[in-house]
Amino acid sequence: MRGVDLAIYADALAGEAASLAARAERARSRLRQAAIEKRARRELTAVAVERLDALGVLGSVDEATTRAELRELEAALDAVEELQSWLEKELASAA
């Protein structure tokens, strides 16, 4: 393989890794939001919670789905990072 081809592929992988990392961070953010909403539900009045539910302000995060999404994203990121590591060795040997 030519070094240029490897470098172009490495660049594409870096973009994919950055995209996966950003998506995973957004999922973590949604889980933090769900935790905040749970705490608010416990501390606000029943009337306020009912109104916020009616507005769709509370309970907008499906925790189980988000946790599953996060696990998938983290596994995908691990795989991409493994490929990047292999690619770096290939680049070093091509130089």
Residue spans of the domains in the chain: they are: 3-94
pLDDT at 60 over 90: no
Overall average pLDDT of the 8-35 stretch: 97
pLDDT at 1 over 70: no
Structure tokens at 61: 């995060």
25-45 pLDDT, tens per residue?
999 999 999 999 999 999 999
Amino acid at site 81: E
pLDDT band at 95 (very low <50, low <70, confident <90, very high): confident
- To the question of pTM greater than 0.75 for the whole model, the response is yes
Distance, C-alpha 50 to centroid of its chain:
31
Q: What confidence score (pLDDT) does residue 85 get? A: 96
